Each structure stands twice: as C-alpha cells, then as structure tokens.
Amino acid sequence: MTAVIETHGLTKRYRGGQLAVDGLDLSVPAGSVFGFLGPNGSGKTTTIRMLMGLIEPTSGTASVLGEPMPRAVRSVLPKVGALIEGPALYGFLSGRGNLLRYDAADPTADPRTRSARVGAALERVGLGQAAGKKAKAYSLGMKQRLGLAAALLQPRRLLVLDEPTNGLDPQGMREIRALVRALAADGTTVFLSSHLLDEIEQVCTHAAVMARGRLIVQGPVAELASRARSRLTVVTPDTGQAARLLKELGVAQVAVEDGDRVTGEPPGEGAELSDLCAALVRDGVRVRGFGVERASLEDAFVALTGEGFDVAQ
C-alpha cells in the first residue's frame, strides 16, 4: 500500500512554549480505515489541523495524497472530505439548506446535480426525514450527522473525521461505523480520530496511539492488540480456592478481579485448557465461566504506557 498521509518529525509548539505535537512520524496506508487514538489533549486535533493546512507546523513535514501540506492545500482539499472539531452550521437554515450552501461553495460541484447530491448525502447519514428542520433545532448528534453529510457531498479519496460519533447514541454510533465500513469498501481511505478504543477496534484496520503529543505505536490493529497478552479467565464464586489451585497447577500471574473473576497467563504449549478446567471442578470449584480472553486495544495501551486511556492530560 502507498501512504495517503505521511509525516516526518511533525511538530507544533504554541506560543508560551506548549508542545502539542512532538516529532510525529506517521504513515497512513491507502485504502485503510486508520484510527488515530489518544486521550483528550494528546495532540490528535492539532495534528489533523496541520494535515488539513489549517495551522502551520513549527517544524517537520507532512504530505497528504502525495502532496506537501500546507503548500498544496488548494489542490489537495477538493479531494478530501473532513469533519474537524464539529461542523460549522448556519442555524437559521435547514439541514438541506446548509448542504446546498456547502455544495455551492465547491467550485468543482456541478450545479445541475446539486439537489440530487444533497438528498443522497442526507439519506446516507439518516437525516432524510429531518432535512427541512432548522439546524439550530438539531441535537448534537444530528449536527454531527449533518457535518458528515457535508463531507460526503462529493466522492473523496480521503475522509478525515475528528471524533465523528461525538454526541451520538449507541444506535447512531453503530450507523456511523457501518457508514465508515461502506466508504472504505468503495475505496475511500478513512482517517478517524477518537478517544474511544472500542470504537476504533470495531471498525479500523490500522491505528496509531498518541499520548502527550508523541506517537507511541502504529500498525495494523490486530498487531497492536497482540502486544498485550491474552488472559485465562475463570468466573467462580470460589475465587480464593480457584486462585490457589491455578497457582499449584503452574499458572503464572494469578489475580482475583471484580469479585468473581480469577485471571492468569494462559498455559504454554503442551498444556490443555480442558485439563485445567477439569482440575478446578474435581477440587470442588464452582466454575461458571472458563476461557481465554483475547487482549484488547485498551489492554495494549495499558501495556505500552502503564496507564489507563482516560488519563488526564
């Protein structure tokens, strides 16, 4: 895959000395759904603003669709759909009226097909029924959907979304995830910034993790998750007895969690999980759940940084 977004040493220091992004080397493969992860304040939005030519970097370089930014902003942005820090809307206009204005501002948009494009974009994000409602009466989630519709008015090679599920209910989040998958299937590269690890894990093929302005790790999501070990998990009311027996059977890192869960490192090669379970039952442990839980992206983040993902910045 070629890189749709690439940065080398990208750095942004604001007046007063605040270092928002520190030497970022990022590579986003073409055709990927790329999750840009980090707690609030980790430098995600600042990075996106530099990539889109909204602010100048202090040092380093960035290219989007193979062209240098911000120098090539006029030729790059028509090929990019973006939703950054929430949509800018005219509250006195309807949802449809806002999109008509957005489309009219695009010099590449054919006015003869404008109405059809706007209608299709509204339907795609689930706002067809609310198209005539004034934007000032929209909920936060509806405004977020309208911003997505604006980004989808034209076919785009790259879609950049900054916290696209902000304000959405669980159903809305599922719909946006389905939309992102459909766009990727059509060949659009999606660059998705979020602080929600489970959201990224469900929809993204690749990801990068930021913390305090620095890149910690990047790569395929499955590889990132594999950096944290899976855990053997036993659910039982007899946690003390189960923990003692597992240690006797050679299970390492045994711990009691959440009142009724005992965890430990999965047995190595040659050991059978069924034998462990059978030994617990023979010893009178009431086993209500038994298995190996795959490591999550959040587990990987904790393993890499030693802290939770919602750490204050």
* Sequential pLDDT tens for the chain (313 residues): 589 999 999 999 998 888 999 999 999 999 999 999 887 788 898 999 999 999 999 999 999 999 999 999 989 988 898 888 778 899 999 999 999 999 998 888 899 999 999 999 999 888 999 999 999 999 888 888 898 899 889 888 999 998 888 777 888 788 888 888 888 888 889 999 887 777 777 889 999 988 889 998 898 987 776 666 677 889 999 998 999 998 888 888 888 887 888 888 887 655 678 888 899 999 999 998 888 876 666 666 666 655 555 433 3
User: Which fold does the domain 3-222 belong to in CATH?
Assistant: Rossmann fold (3.40.50)
Residues listed for the chain: 313
Domain borders along the chain are 3-222, 231-294
User: Which fold does the domain 231-294 belong to in CATH?
Assistant: Alpha-Beta Plaits (3.30.70)
Euclidean distance between CA atoms 31 and 157, whole angstroms: 9
Euclidean distance between CA atoms 238 and 236, whole angstroms: 5
CB under 8 Å to 122, separation ≥6 — which residues?
A: 95, 96, 99, 128, 131, 149
Euclidean distance between CA atoms 253 and 244, whole angstroms: 12
Beta bridge partners of 99: none
pTM for the full predicted model: 0.74
Helical H segments across 17-160, by residue range: 44-51, 73-76, 95-104, 114-124, 140-151
